[in-house]
Amino acid sequence: MGDALQRTLPRSFIRALHASWVLRRSCTFALLIAAQTAFAGTRDLSSPTLRKIAENDTIVLGVRESSVPFSYLDANRRSIGYSQAIALRIIDEVRLRLQTPRLAVSTVVVTPANRMSYAVNHQIDLECGSTAHVRDREQLVAFSNSFFAYGIRMVVKRKSGIRNYADLAGKTVSTTAGTSDEQLLRELSLSRKLNLRIISAKDHAEGFDALKSGRAVAFVMDDPLLYGKIAQEGPAQDEYMVTGDPLAHESYACMMRKGDPVFKKLADDVIAGMERSGEAEQLYNRWFTQPIPPDNINLRFPLSPEMKALFANPNDQASDD
C-alpha cells in the first residue's frame, strides 16, 4: 500500500485491512497443510510389506537368471520376461498406493533353492518368476493369483528314441534342484521302480546342459521352460523334442511373505485385471509367439486351453488342490 494512500485512510481501517490480509494468508496456509496431511493420510500402510517398502523407499524384487521367457537376464544383465512384466505392473500399483512415483526397484537374483528363504526372511518383497504354487509351500509363503498354467514333461534328443518315462529306466535324468519337478521325478522313480539316477542342477541352464553334453538322457521340467531352452539352441533346436505324459499340471504365481493379506490382494487385483482385460493375453503373445531378446528366439508356444480358462477365471488355487 503506498505511503500517500496510507496517510489518507484511517489507521483503524488500515489495521483491519492488514488483519484481514494476514487472516487470508493464514487460512490459505492452513488449507495447504490440511490438504497435504489428507493426501499423506491416504497412503496405505496397513500392510507390513508396504510399510517396509515405504520406510526404505525401495521395493526388492526377486528375479531369475535363466527362466526364459518368464524371468531372465539379458545381455546387459537386466531382468526381462513375461513374469517380470507382471511384477512391474504390480510395482506400478505399489507406487500409486504409497504415492511414491519415484519408488526405487532393487533386484536380487534368486534360485529355486533359495527363493523361499529369501521371501521368508524378507530379503525380497516380491518374486514373480517361475515358482509353482503348490500347497506345501503355503506353510512358508503366500501366493498371488496364478499367471501361468502348464504341464511337467521332459525334453530329449530326437535320436535317443525316448518318448515316455518307461524308456528312462536305469538311466540318468536331470532336473532343477529345489523344484516341485525334482520331487515328482523322485516319486516317479520309486513308484514305478525306474531306478533313475537324478542330476539335481542348480538352475535350468545347467539342467539342460546335462542333456546337451550327454550326461543325462532327459531334462524334466515345466514344459514352457523346455520350449524356451530348445528355442535358445538356434539351428540345433530340431535335434530336441518335448515328450512324455505330463507328470502333473501346475500353475505359476507371484510369491510374497506370508500373513500380509493387504499386499496379496494388491497383487491379486493387478493380475486379475490384466487377465480379464486382455492385457495378459497381449503380453503372452509378446513373449511366447514372437521373437524375444536377446537373440530373437521364438518359442512358438500358442495360448493353451488351460491358459484361456485361467484368464477367464483368475484364481489363486494351489496346483495340487
Domain holding 235: CATH number? 3.40.190.10
Q: What is the pLDDT of residue 162?
A: 98
Q: What is the pLDDT of residue 45?
A: 87
143 with 165, same domain: the answer is: no
181 with 207, same domain: the answer is: yes
The DSSP call for residue 214 is T
Is residue 41 one of the residues assigned to a domain? Answer: no
The residue out of 199, 225, 249 marking a domain boundary is 249
Q: What is the pLDDT of residue 22?
A: 43
Identify the CA nearest to 127 among candidates 62, 50, 53.
62
221 with 238, same domain: the answer is: yes
The residue out of 209, 227, 249 marking a domain boundary is 249
Is residue 123 one of the residues assigned to a domain? Answer: yes
Is residue 19 one of the residues assigned to a domain? Answer: no
Look up residue 286 and give its amino acid: R
Q: What is the pLDDT of residue 36?
A: 39
166 with 197, same domain: the answer is: yes
Number of helices (H) and strands (E), helices first, in the chain? 11, 12
Identify the CA nearest to 146 among candidates 255, 262, 304.
255
208 with 289, same domain: the answer is: no
DSSP string covering 61-110:
EEE-SEETTTEEE-TTS-EESHHHHHHHHHHHHHHHHHT-TT-EEEEEE-
Is residue 173 one of the residues assigned to a domain? Answer: yes
Question: Exposed (0-12), middle (13-18) or buried (19+): which is 274, by Cβ within 10 Å?
Answer: buried
Is residue 89 one of the residues assigned to a domain? Answer: yes
What are the grid coordinates assigned to 15, written together? 489495521
286 with 233, same domain: the answer is: no
59 with 130, same domain: the answer is: yes
Q: How many domains does the chain have?
A: 2
What are the grid coordinates assigned to 304, written together? 493353451
The residue out of 249, 279, 304 marking a domain boundary is 249
61 with 182, same domain: the answer is: no
132 with 263, same domain: the answer is: yes
Contacts of 233 (CB under 8 A, 6+ apart): 239, 240
Contacts of 85 (CB under 8 A, 6+ apart): 283, 287
Look up residue 193 and give its amino acid: K
142 with 264, same domain: the answer is: yes
Identify the CA nearest to 174 among candidates 214, 220, 205, 230.
220
191 with 223, same domain: the answer is: yes
End-to-end CA distance of the chain: 79
Per-residue pLDDT of the chain (321 residues; tens, 9 = 90+): 444 444 444 555 445 444 454 444 444 434 433 433 343 446 778 899 999 999 999 999 999 999 999 999 999 999 999 999 999 999 999 999 999 999 999 999 999 999 999 999 999 999 999 999 999 999 999 999 999 999 999 999 999 999 999 999 999 999 999 999 999 999 999 999 999 999 999 999 999 999 999 999 999 999 999 999 999 999 999 999 999 999 999 999 999 999 999 999 999 999 999 999 999 999 999 999 999 999 999 999 999 999 999 999 999 999 876
Phi–psi pair at 149, nearest 5 degrees: -115, 140
Is residue 298 one of the residues assigned to a domain? Answer: yes
CB 98 within 8 A of CB 284: no
Is residue 166 one of the residues assigned to a domain? Answer: yes
138 with 186, same domain: the answer is: no
Is residue 181 one of the residues assigned to a domain? Answer: yes
Domain containing 302 equals 48-149+251-312
